[in-house]
């Protein structure tokens, strides 16, 4: 989804860069429009570098090469239509007054009038300006018109005073935008245990046997689950990534440490997602001292315990268990065999032989398999894929009969059996189900 961030001219303008990053972490596409005042505090280049898009700084053509074309004069309308939400952070007293009174004298204020998307404002200003009856009356007017106000925090302000007026935290603003976009908290109340990264088995004090997993998929799942309202326990093998804020990180190294961590925490979980690449073998003997080069070396390996199989054996009623499968050949068939062998509710099958996706890559494509369905996800950023996987996992809590009914109803209403072209929603028993575009749902009637 696409979000326009409006930056107006206050000292908190520099914090808008963090707001942009927080929105991007939620897999939202972000563009930025700055008022003239904002440009006194922070350069457009900062936002251009963060978003990879031109930053809009004026209602009028600015560069020498830009002429006063029709395109430029209607850009605010095009941008207003492009955005699924407009969030102004920081919103100064001045911008709130202009919005409240319909004064359209620059790009941001003009776009505000032109957009029909949800509008959010995150005010930041001096405490006296915030408490002034004029500002409060403007806010009241905006609220009555449906603008969502992200209240400022209290504390020491840049002006030296103490009180309300600090820009809300970037994560808080991003969450408010997600809510406005209708991205539901469909994992609220759930505890999700996620494993990530590649385990390592020591050969001697300096060497280990590892694999190419970076942890990116598992960390993306942790962030997505958290933003959908879940409490997340992330059990991670070594990874260079920063964990998402507020999730509980349990660091492990070996398959055995991961096993112990998972089994000791899994009773708390309503959903277990095992995206870690776990070593299947460990050396039968770990040398105390660094192994010296003395000619050919033969190492005996012993199998590690299959953690996922153990998790399935110890599962509690109602607990959902999702595995991953890394395959280099016959991905679907091997994935399906693994699903049945491991007894999980679903398995995410990755063909890790493909260049540029999967292990250590930013992109991934996968097939989500259950006992009766196969859904192909095309290559996309791992954070976006994480949400698609969670959409399907949440769907597993629905009775399968509904799932079949939903897909066939969507297919017949659209006259296609290619679900990648479906964007329709179906209402069954008063609940609206959306057949996600971009994925191919193949219902297997068995
Ligand atoms: N897994 C696990 N414990 C292991 C090995 C794998 O819990 N010792 C989990 C992984 O986290 C993943 C799933 O099992 O969710 C499948 O992992 P994968 O490496 O694809 O398969 P294996 O079970 O190792 O089978 P094989 O290597 O024969 O394909």
Ligand 1 closest atom vs CA 304: 8
Q: What is the residue with the minimal CA distance to atom 27 of ligand 1? A: 280
Residues of each domain in the chain carrying CATH 3.40.50.1950? 2-180
pLDDT band at 442 (very low <50, low <70, confident <90, very high): very low
Q: How far is the CA of 239 from the centre of ligand 1 (A)?
A: 18
Ligand 1 closest atom vs CA 279: 8
Ligand 1 closest atom vs CA 326: 20
Q: Determine which of 34-43, 137-146, 284-293, 404-413 has the lowest per-residue pLDDT on average.
A: 404-413
Closest CA to 111 of 74, 142, 138: 74
Q: How far is the CA of 191 from the centre of ligand 1 (A)?
A: 23
Question: What does the block give as tokens for 342?
Answer: 């491991």
Q: How far is the CA of 259 from the centre of ligand 1 (A)?
A: 12
Q: Which residues are catalytic?
A: 159
- Angle, helices 16-25 vs 170-180, to 10°: value is 50
Closest CA to 118 of 76, 140, 146: 146
Percent of the chain with pLDDT over 90: 66
Q: What is the DSSP string of 115-145?
A: --S-EEEEE---HHHHHSHHHHHHHHHHHHT
CB-based contacts of 104, cutoff 8 Å, min separation 6: 98, 110, 112, 113
Q: How far is the CA of 296 from the centre of ligand 1 (A)?
A: 30
**For residues 398-416, average pLDDT:** 50
pLDDT band at 361 (very low <50, low <70, confident <90, very high): confident
What does DSSP assign to residue 264?
A: H
**Binding site membership of 111 for ligand 1 (Cβ less than 6 Å):** no
**Binding site membership of 262 for ligand 1 (Cβ less than 6 Å):** no
Ligand 1 closest atom vs CA 308: 7
- Angle, helices 216-227 vs 382-395, to 10°: value is 60
Question: Could you give the CA distance from residue 99 to residue 112 in angstroms, rounded to a whole number?
Answer: 7
Residue among 274, 301, 336 to mutate when testing ligand 1 (max atoms within 8 A of CB)? 274
Q: How far is the CA of 226 from the centre of ligand 1 (A)?
A: 25
Question: Could you give the CA distance from residue 348 to residue 369 in angstroms, rounded to a whole number?
Answer: 6
Residue among 262, 323, 335, 339 to mutate when testing ligand 1 (max atoms within 8 A of CB)? 323
Q: What is the residue with the minimal CA distance to atom 16 of ligand 1? A: 325
Question: Could you give the CA distance from residue 263 to residue 269 in angstroms, rounded to a whole number?
Answer: 11
Question: Could you give the CA distance from residue 406 to residue 408 in angstroms, rounded to a whole number?
Answer: 6
Question: Could you give the CA distance from residue 107 to residue 6 in angstroms, rounded to a whole number?
Answer: 10
79-117 residue pLDDT tens: 878 999 999 999 999 999 999 999 999 999 999 999 989
Computed over every residue of the chain, the mean pLDDT equals: 86
4-20 residue pLDDT tens: 999 999 999 999 999 99
pLDDT winner (highest mean) among 64-73, 208-217, 415-424: 208-217
Helix (H, G, I), strand (E, B) or coil at 110: helix
Helix (H, G, I), strand (E, B) or coil at 250: strand
- Which of the pair, 426 or 231, is modelled with greater confidence? 231
> What are the φ/ψ torsions at residue 96 (nearest 5 degrees)?
-65, -40
Closest CA to 15 of 45, 41, 48: 41
Question: Could you give the CA distance from residue 16 to residue 209 in angstroms, rounded to a whole number?
Answer: 43
Question: Could you give the CA distance from residue 332 to residue 316 in angstroms, rounded to a whole number?
Answer: 28
Specify the residue for token string 């809300």.
168
Helix (H, G, I), strand (E, B) or coil at 394: helix
Q: Which long-range contacts (CB under 8 A, 24 or more apart) does 257-265 make?
A: 257/199, 258/195, 258/199, 258/307, 259/304, 259/305, 259/307, 259/310, 261/235, 262/193, 262/195, 262/235, 262/307, 262/311, 263/307, 263/310, 263/311, 263/314, 265/193, 265/233, 265/235
- pTM greater than the 0.85 cutoff: no
CA-to-CA dists, residue 28 to 51, 221, 365, 387, angstroms: 11, 15, 19, 12
pLDDT band at 159 (very low <50, low <70, confident <90, very high): confident
What does DSSP assign to residue 251?
A: E
Ligand 1 closest atom vs CA 323: 15
Question: Could you give the CA distance from residue 107 to residue 56 in angstroms, rounded to a whole number?
Answer: 8
**For residues 424-446, average pLDDT:** 40
Question: What does the block give as tokens for 311?
Answer: 């998790």
Q: How far is the CA of 400 from the centre of ligand 1 (A)?
A: 26
182, 222 contact by CB (below 8 A):
no
Asked if the model's pLDDT at residue 143 lies above 70, the reply is yes
**Binding site membership of 259 for ligand 1 (Cβ less than 6 Å):** no
Helix (H, G, I), strand (E, B) or coil at 119: strand
**Binding site membership of 326 for ligand 1 (Cβ less than 6 Å):** yes
pLDDT at site 189? 92
Question: Could you give the CA distance from residue 160 to residue 11 in angstroms, rounded to a whole number?
Answer: 12
**For residues 376-391, average pLDDT:** 90
Asked if the model's pLDDT at residue 63 lies above 70, the reply is no
236, 262 contact by CB (below 8 A):
no
Q: Determine which of 129-138, 231-240, 350-359, 362-371 has the lowest per-residue pLDDT on average.
A: 350-359
CATH fold, domain 191-395, is Rossmann fold (3.40.50)
Residues of each domain in the chain carrying CATH 3.40.50.10300? 191-395
pLDDT at site 66? 52
441, 421 contact by CB (below 8 A):
no
> What are the φ/ψ torsions at residue 28 (nearest 5 degrees)?
-95, 145
Asked if the model's pLDDT at residue 32 lies above 60, the reply is yes
252, 198 contact by CB (below 8 A):
no
Q: How far is the CA of 174 from the centre of ligand 1 (A)?
A: 35
**Binding site membership of 274 for ligand 1 (Cβ less than 6 Å):** yes
Question: Could you give the CA distance from residue 300 to residue 436 in angstroms, rounded to a whole number?
Answer: 48
Asked if the model's pLDDT at residue 435 lies above 60, the reply is no
pLDDT band at 62 (very low <50, low <70, confident <90, very high): low
Question: Could you give the CA distance from residue 249 to residue 414 in angstroms, rounded to a whole number?
Answer: 45
Termini Cα distance of the chain: 36
CATH fold, domain 2-180, is Rossmann fold (3.40.50)
Q: Which residues pair with 376 in a beta bridge?
A: 367, 440
326-353 residue pLDDT tens: 999 999 999 999 999 999 999 999 988 8
Q: What is the residue with the minimal CA distance to atom 9 of ligand 1? A: 308
């Amino acid at each position: 989804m696409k979000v326009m961030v409006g930056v107006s001219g206050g000292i908190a303008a520099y914090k808008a860069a963090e707001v942009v990053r927080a929105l991007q972490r939620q897999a939202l596409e972000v563009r930025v429009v700055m008022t003239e005042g904002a440009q006194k505090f922070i350069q457009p280049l900062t936002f251009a570098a963060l978003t990879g898009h031109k930053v809009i700084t004026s209602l009028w053509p600015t560069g020498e090469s830009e002429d006063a074309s029709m395109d430029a004069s209607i850009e605010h309308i095009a941008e207003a239509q492009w955005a699924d939400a407009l969030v102004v952070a920081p919103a100064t007293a001045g911008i709130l007054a202009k919005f409240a009174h319909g004064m359209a004298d620059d790009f941001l204020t003009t776009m505000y009038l032109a957009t029909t998307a949800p509008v959010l404002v995150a005010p930041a200003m001096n405490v006296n300006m915030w408490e002034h009856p004029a500002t409060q009356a403007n806010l009241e007017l905006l609220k009555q018109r449906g603008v969502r106000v992200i209240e400022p925090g209290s504390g020491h302000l840049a002006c030296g005073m103490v009180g309300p007026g600090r820009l809300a935290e970037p994560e808080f603003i991003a969450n408010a935008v997600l809510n406005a976009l209708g991205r539901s908290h469909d994992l609220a109340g759930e505890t999700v245990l996620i494993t990530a990264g590649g385990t390592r088995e020591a050969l001697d004090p300096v060497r280990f046997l590892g694999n190419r997993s970076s942890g990116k998929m598992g960390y993306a799942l942790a962030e997505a689950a958290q933003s959908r309202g879940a409490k997340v326990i992330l059990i991670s093998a070594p990874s260079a990534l920063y964990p998402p804020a507020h999730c509980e990180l349990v660091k492990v190294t070996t398959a055995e440490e991961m096993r112990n961590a998972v089994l000791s925490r899994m009773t708390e979980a309503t959903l277990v997602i095992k995206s870690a690449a776990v070593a299947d073998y460990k050396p039968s003997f770990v040398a105390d001292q660094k192994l010296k080069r003395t000619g050919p070396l033969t190492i005996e390996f012993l199998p590690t315990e299959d953690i996922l199989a153990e998790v399935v054996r110890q599962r509690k009623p109602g607990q959902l268990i999702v595995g991953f499968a890394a395959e280099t050949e016959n991905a679907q068939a091997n994935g399906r065999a693994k699903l049945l062998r491991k007894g999980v509710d679903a398995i995410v099958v990755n063909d890790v032989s493909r260049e540029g996706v999967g292990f250590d890559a930013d992109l991934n494509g996968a097939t989500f398999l259950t006992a009766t369905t196969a859904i192909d996800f095309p290559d996309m950023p791992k954070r976006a894929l994480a949400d698609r996987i969670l959409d399907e996992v949440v769907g597993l809590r629905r009775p399968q009969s509904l799932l079949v009914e939903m897909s066939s109803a969507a297919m017949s209403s659209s006259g296609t059996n290619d679900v990648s072209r479906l964007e329709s929603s179906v209402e069954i028993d008063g609940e609206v189900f959306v057949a996600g575009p971009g994925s191919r749902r193949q219902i297997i009637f068995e």
